[in-house]
Amino acid sequence: MIIAERKPIPEIQSFVAGYHKVLVVGCGTCVAVCLAGGSKEAEILTNELTLSPKTAGARFESRTLERQCDMEFLSELDEQAAEYDALLSMACGAGVQLLAERFSRIPVFPAVNTSCIGVNRSVGWYEENCRACGTCVLALTAGICPVTRCAKGLFNGPCGGTNITSCEIHPDQPCAWHMIYERLAAQDRLQQIMEISPANDWRNQQPRTIVQPGYEERTSALKEQ
Amino acid sequence: MKSGSKLERILQAGHFAFTGEVGPPRGCNVQALKEKISHLKGHVDAANVTDNQTAVVRLSSWAASLICLQEGVEPNFQMVCRDRNRLAMQADILGASAHGIRNMLCLSGDHQVFGDHPQAKGVFDIDSIQLLAMVKGMRDDSAFQSGGGIDEAPKMFIGAAANPFAEPFEWRIHRLAKKISAGADFIQTQCVYNMDKAREWVKQANDLGLTEKASLLMGITPMKSVGMARYMQSKVPGMEVPEAIIRRLREAGKQNVAEEGIKIACEQIQEFKEMPGVAGIHLMAIEWEHRVPEIAERAGMLPRPEV
Ligand code: SF4
Ligand code: SF4
């Protein structure tokens, strides 16, 4: 899922300064699970802004949608949005953008920093696991992403900086390539990293549009009608 | 001959090679750089010119390599994967070769968090092994990484680094094999202090036939003080300094510690000279360039052969 962290209050206040009626829009999916922008966090932010002398005089209300990265759910706000002179989105960057597109006449501001695609290690503890490189190599690397979890994104690691089992950047950061080595060795599959992994085909360097076969079938069926 | 560099000719003639290292200045202080180079002149076969070493901005390695060349010391142009993508790397390789630089060392590079611009975006478009393969392709097949043809291929004697000491130890020899099959003609190792491990690693390299395919230059850095040894032991990632070395330095006493450091280095060099599979020494006398002539002399590396 997408992991995000709420922005500091002063930064959020700098966005909404001068607006009189602001709707804080929570998102009920990823950012709710990672405790950054769900309905509870939207209410907390609304209260903080209401009580802060810095934003005194302005009205803050909150509403949480199921998903902000989907027009279908955004349409629920169509009537209500017009009552506000700014929207503060607590969704990930994708949700903020779709909200801003749907209500393009109203200023939309982000209330969270979108961090990464990650996993839930425990409530409140998340770990980045994927950078959406577009050419997944997990089959080669024992299910451990070298692009994300190796600080240098090496395809033929480990580098010379490993600190026993940690990465050179920090003792608390496990070396991804050490883990890859150990897991492959345990599975008796080291052979596959004996081969040189060639230079990667970076497919995340231009905006991507993904069209699944289902979409094509549906649109061509519609055309035929 | 792959590039015809002096280092290549020395190794090809079967001489025991001796390389040094210079770090470019944090500015345009060419005088300081020339001063460092002057100590290496005539005492080493080639000098590594570091590339934004420890992720700190310095005068660029190809520019400093050029100054090295003008000053009469053959450069070994270092290139890290942290600061350039494959376009910039290939452009600099062509540029370096066009100016007569004939050796290069391909490295991943220290992570940028260690340096003076920790907020920088690390590039790491390709890794050091992919860089080796790219340079080899450019030199031997006149082909860019993309496959496109090169109008006059660059001439480079290609080097790689190896750290025999970092974990997982059993994997290190295979990584060395990968570097050699990617294109490394010579290898320079991390500073050696643990001779037992170094012996074991060289033996593994011999057993796998790797020392026949590439020349192994063992890294030596004389310790200047107990503090330096402690720092290397605890702070430098991937470095292994046995307690015995620290004890020896401490027992030498404050006055004699640098002398003891040089003594240890000379003993190591002596042992490597006689070790089958070792083709030379890479001396990294960090900010101690002025002691290189003395160390070279005492280690019996002088005079350097003319080839
Ligand atoms: S290899 Fe690419 S797609 Fe696969 S997990 Fe890593 S970043 Fe994600
Ligand atoms: S220590 Fe391991 S995780 Fe860290 S940069 Fe090197 S190979 Fe990657």
| B126 CA → ligand 1 middle, Å | 15
- The answer on A28 and A80 residing in a single domain is yes
Rounded distance between C-alpha atoms, residue B307 and residue B305, angstroms: 6
- The answer on A67 and A166 residing in a single domain is no
The reported pTM is 0.95
- The answer on A143 and A185 residing in a single domain is yes
- Domain assignment of residue A162, given as a range: 133-194
Q: What is the per-residue pLDDT across A80-116, written as a single tens digit (0 to 9) for each?
A: 999 999 999 999 999 999 999 999 999 999 999 999 9
Rounded distance between C-alpha atoms, residue B257 and residue B270, angstroms: 20
Cβ(A146) to ligand 2 under 6 A? no
Which of A57, A88, A116 is at the close of a domain?
A116
Residue B286, pLDDT > 90, answer: no
Q: Between B111, B129, B167, which is nearest A156 by CB?
A: B129
Tokens for A44, please give them.
């907390």
Closest alpha carbon within chain B to A164: B167
Give the angle B106-B133-A149 at the CA atoms, nearest 5°.
Answer: 70
| B177 CA → ligand 2 middle, Å | 19
Burial class (CB in 10 A: 0-12, 13-18, 19+), A82: exposed
Burial class (CB in 10 A: 0-12, 13-18, 19+), A178: buried
Which CATH number characterizes residue A79's domain?
Answer: 3.40.50.2300
Which residue, among B197, B257, B187, has the nearest Cα to B222 in the 3D structure?
B257
Q: Which ligand is nearest to the CA of A150?
A: 2
- The answer on A166 and A100 residing in a single domain is no
Residue B236, pLDDT > 90, answer: no
Query: What is the pLDDT, as a whole number, of residue A147?
Result: 97
Complex ipTM above 0.90? yes
- The CATH code that applies to domain B6-298 is 3.20.20.220
- Identity (one letter) of the amino acid at B151? D
Q: Which residues in A lie closer than 8 A to residue B159 (C-beta atoms)?
A: none
B30-40 vs B61-70: helix crossing angle, rounded to 10:
60
- E strand or H helix that includes residue A65: strand A59-65
Which of A91, A116, A141 is at the close of a domain?
A116
Rounded distance between C-alpha atoms, residue A48 and residue A6, angstroms: 13
Give the angle B274-B280-B283 at the CA atoms, nearest 5°.
Answer: 115
Cβ within 8 Å of residue B32, ≥6 positions away? B25
Q: Is B81 in Cβ contact with A199 (below 8 Å)?
A: no
Query: What is the pLDDT, as a whole number, of residue B51?
Result: 98
- The answer on A157 and A95 residing in a single domain is no
Residue A151's pLDDT band, with cuts at 50, 70 and 90, is very high
In a domain, A204, yes or no: no
- The answer on A99 and A145 residing in a single domain is no
With the most atoms of ligand 1 within 8 angstroms of its CB, the residue from A145, A202, A210 to mutate is A145
| B186 CA → ligand 2 middle, Å | 23
CB B161 within 8 A of CB B189: yes
Q: Is A197 on the interface with B (CB under 8 A)?
A: yes
In B97-138, DSSP assigns E strands to 103-107
In a domain, A178, yes or no: yes
| A211 CA → ligand 2 middle, Å | 35
Residue B237, pLDDT > 90, answer: no
CB B205 within 8 A of CB B179: no
Share of chain A above pLDDT 70, in %: 100
Q: Which ligand is nearest to the CA of B163?
A: 2
- The answer on A16 and A95 residing in a single domain is yes
Rounded distance between C-alpha atoms, residue B3 and residue B159, angstroms: 12
Query: What is the pLDDT, as a whole number, of residue A150?
Result: 98
Residue A28, pLDDT > 90, answer: yes
CB B130 within 8 A of CB A198: yes
Q: How close, in Å, is residue B88 to chain A by CA atoms?
A: 15
Query: Residue B82's Cα: distance from chain center in Å?
Result: 17
**CA of B237, closest atom in ligand 2:** 1
Q: Which residues make beta-bridge pairs with B54?
A: none
Cβ(A167) to ligand 2 under 6 A? yes
Q: Is A198 in Cβ contact with B133 (below 8 Å)?
A: yes
Which residue, among B27, B133, B70, has the nearest Cα to A199 in the 3D structure?
B133
- The answer on A56 and A93 residing in a single domain is yes
- The answer on A111 and A138 residing in a single domain is no
Q: Report DSSP letters for A70-94, one per residue.
A: -HHHHGGGHHHHTT-SEEEE-S-HH
Rounded distance between C-alpha atoms, residue A84 and residue A131, angstroms: 35
Number of domains chain A is built from: 2
- The answer on A154 and A50 residing in a single domain is no
Cβ(A177) to ligand 2 under 6 A? yes
* Residue of A131, A135, A149, A156 best to disrupt the B interface, most CBs of B under 10 A: A156
Q: Is A160 on the interface with B (CB under 8 A)?
A: yes
In a domain, A225, yes or no: no
Rounded distance between C-alpha atoms, residue B16 and residue B210, angstroms: 17
